[in-house]
């Protein structure tokens, strides 16, 4: 297991390096002039020259990439061309907002998958209807689910769940940026529940498609496992149906479900860019939308790097969990 983890971490470093290189190259092949974006169209020649030195534009490309990579290792994402501030400072509130929403979406997708998989395996006409409904939900885009959620839970049900923002109270001055965690740390259950209520609709919109897909794979895996020869052998040895399911069926069915979760985790993270716009969630998606509007490529590159790194980290974590559950993975 140790060697497997080391190999996966080594692959993680390699992938992150190439991701960094690709983002850097894309910034160099673009037609936009970052200096003009930074100084404005009416800047004098002296201001433009000073900006080129400040941004390191005149350095050799190899030096620029070395500075870019070194800055990333130190948590320096560069300077925003629009705000003239360090991008790390600009993202100090946006990044926790997106990470909180991403973690909530992944957790909710797992809950949806486990709960619906039990309903998905129901025999007869009810099971057939559920299969049709689940297949329809799995094909719905996240923005459509987001708008329908707002329509149902906010308008039709009289605002039972909030449809915008992260909290009704605002952030704590000494908070972590994760509102649910801040409420727990400060012992305020009112604040905690308010933060959870604001999380539910955007997390549901981002996770429902993945949760339904996860339910289908998990249900098919359980059905196949419970009909296998080793399951019949376990029953012949006196084990109850629940014991066979708990000790054998779920463990064998979890491998394909975890593999699917690794893929859909990236889809959920990428869908947050759209979901945050619908729910006015002040995260990376909102920051990215603003940066695209003004051509702020360093900010765009920083967000792309963060989202790519989150996707790679999630896949690595799922691979390690999958190896712990299924020894065949690490042996292969």
Distance (Å, rounded) from C-alpha 245 to C-alpha 247? Answer: 6
Residues of the chain with pLDDT > 70, as a percent, come to 86
pLDDT at 294: 76
DSSP state of 121: T
Residue 37, pLDDT score: 65
Please say whether the beta carbons of 93 and 177 come within 8 A.
yes
- The DSSP secondary-structure symbol of 32 reads S
Tens of pLDDT, residue by residue over 23-68, are 888 777 765 667 766 766 666 777 777 777 777 777 787 888 888 8
pLDDT at 192: 92
Map out the domains of the chain with their CATH numbers.
2-87 (no CATH), 94-282 (1.10.3720.10)
Q: Taken in order 12, 17, 18, 23, is the CA torsion positive or negative?
A: positive
pLDDT confidence of residue 23: 83
- In 3D space, the residue among 69, 51, 50 whose CA is nearest the CA of residue 61 turns out to be 69
Contacts 24+ apart (CB under 8 A), 164-168: 164/279, 164/280, 165/198, 165/279, 165/280, 165/281, 165/282, 166/97, 166/195, 166/198, 166/199, 166/281, 166/282, 167/191, 167/194, 167/195, 167/198, 168/194, 168/198
CB-count exposure of residue 317 (10 Å: 0-12, 13-18, 19+): middle
Query: What local confidence, expressed as pLDDT, does residue 137 receive?
Result: 65
Helix spans in 121-166 (H) = 124-138, 142-149
CA distance 257 to 191: 34
Q: Are the C-beta atoms of residues 23 and 87 closer than 8 Å to each other?
A: no
* Segments of the chain scoring below 70 in pLDDT: 30-33, 36-37, 39-43, 120-128, 130-131, 133-135, 137-138, 246, 248-249, 326-332
């Amino acid at each position: 297991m140790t060697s497997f983890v080391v190999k996966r971490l080594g692959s993680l470093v390699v992938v992150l390096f190439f991701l960094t290189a690709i983002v850097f190259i894309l910034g160099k092949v673009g037609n936009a002039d970052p200096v003009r974006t930074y100084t404005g169209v009416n800047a004098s020649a002296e201001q433009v020259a000073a900006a080129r030195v400040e941004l390191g534009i005149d350095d050799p490309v190899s030096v620029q990439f070395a500075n870019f990579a070194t800055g990333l290792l130190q948590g320096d994402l560069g300077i925003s061309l629009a705000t003239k501030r360090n991008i790390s400072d600009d993202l100090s509130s946006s990044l926790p907002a997106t990470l909180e929403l991403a973690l909530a979406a992944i957790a909710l997708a797992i809950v949806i998958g486990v709960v619906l998989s039990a309903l998905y395996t129901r025999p007869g006409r009810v099971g057939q209807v559920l299969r049709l409904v689940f297949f329809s939900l799995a094909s719905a885009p996240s923005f459509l689910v987001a708008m329908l959620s707002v329509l149902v839970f906010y308008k039709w049900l009289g605002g039972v769940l909030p449809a915008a923002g992260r909290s009704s109270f605002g952030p704590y001055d000494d908070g972590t940026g994760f509102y649910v965690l801040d409420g727990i740390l400060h012992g305020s259950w009112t604040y905690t529940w308010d933060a959870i209520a604001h999380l539910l609709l955007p997390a549901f919109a981002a996770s429902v498609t993945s949760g339904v897909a996860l339910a289908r794979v998990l249900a098919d895996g359980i059905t196949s496992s419970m009909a296998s020869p080793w399951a019949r052998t376990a029953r012949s040895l006196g084990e109850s149906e629940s014991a066979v399911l708990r000790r054998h069926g779920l463990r064998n069915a979890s491998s394909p479900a975890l593999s699917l979760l690794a893929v859909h985790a990236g889809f959920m993270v990428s869908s947050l860019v759209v979901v945050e716009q619908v729910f006015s969630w002040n995260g990376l998606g909102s920051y990215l939308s603003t940066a695209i509007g003004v051509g702020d490529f360093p900010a765009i590159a920083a967000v792309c790097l963060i989202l790519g790194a989150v996707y790679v980290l999630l896949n690595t974590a799922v691979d390690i969990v999958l190896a712990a559950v299924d020894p065949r993975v690490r042996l292969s």
